[in-house]
Amino acid sequence: TRRSSDLDNDQLGVSDLQALALKPQDMVVGLAASGRTPYVVGALRFARQSGCRTAAISCNPDSPIAQEAAIAISPVVGPEALTGSTRLKSGTAQKLVLNMISTGAMVKIGKVYQNLMVDMQATNVKLADRACRMVCQATGCGPTEAEQALRHAAYEVKTAILMVLSGVEAAEANSLLAQHGGFLRAALQATTR
């Protein structure tokens, strides 16, 4: 756990990223409400010099972190209701931006089908019920068929959807998903050719 005074040290941002053994295909997103936190500035500079893609999220346009990053996202929130309390408007706006980024990433890596988060792990009763509703919504089948498919698919939502829509068994559905990098849409298209 870092002390707040550590944020004043740009070299700590560098050493923390060095410990991660970044590769050029990695992306580093720096976050600072003020946009000038030395730790974040140092980390972004190091990431950029290492060939990584970089983005900065700050509520101050043209901030030092925005200058270090290839992409600068600067939500305009105006002054905080309590001066200096950046956990209010600034923190909330930055969290919304992070939610958008992570949602987009989930879509890009195949964890979403239609508008459903189909890579969810059904680890309890509530989530198993949600998984059943997702299979019903994605396929148009009833709850009994969805539940049966989920049981055969070890409660893997993607697998169950593929089974219902294509009529294949769980093992074949898993194989199709593996062949298509986990992308349900691509696996479905392969079954209709």
Q: What is the pLDDT of residues 121-139, one digit of tens each?
A: 899 999 999 999 999 999 9
Q: Using DSSP, how many helices (H) and how many strands (E) does the chain show?
A: 9, 5
- Percent of the chain past pLDDT 70, that is, above it, reads 98
Evaluate if residue 62 carries a pLDDT over 80.
yes
Judgement on whether residues 117 and 98 belong to the same structural domain of the protein: no
The confidence score (pLDDT) of residue 2 equals: 67
Write down how long the chain is: 193
Using an 8 Å Cβ cutoff, are 125 and 140 in contact? no
Q: What is the pLDDT of residues 85-105, one digit of tens each?
A: 777 888 899 999 999 999 999
Q: Tell me, yes or no, whether 20 and 89 share the same domain.
A: yes
Whole-Å CA distances, 162 to 33, 108, 132: 43, 19, 14
Average pLDDT score over residue span 22-49? 95
- Split into its structural domains, the chain has a count of 2
Tell me the two tokens of residue 40.
């974040």
Mean pLDDT of 41-49: 97
Question: Are residue 136 and residue 171 in the same domain, yes or no?
Answer: yes
* Residue 46 and residue 133 share a domain: no
Choosing from 108, 124, 147, the residue where a domain stops is 108
Question: Is residue 13 domain-shared with residue 80, that is, in the same domain?
Answer: yes
The token pair that represents 170 in the structure block:
């769980």
Domain C-terminal end among 58, 87, 108: 108
CATH number at residue 99: 3.40.50.10490
Same domain? For 13 and 101 the reply is yes
What residue numbers bound the domain in which 36 lies?
A: 4-108
Q: Tell me which residue of 9, 51, 47, 7 sits closest to 28, measured CA to CA.
A: 47
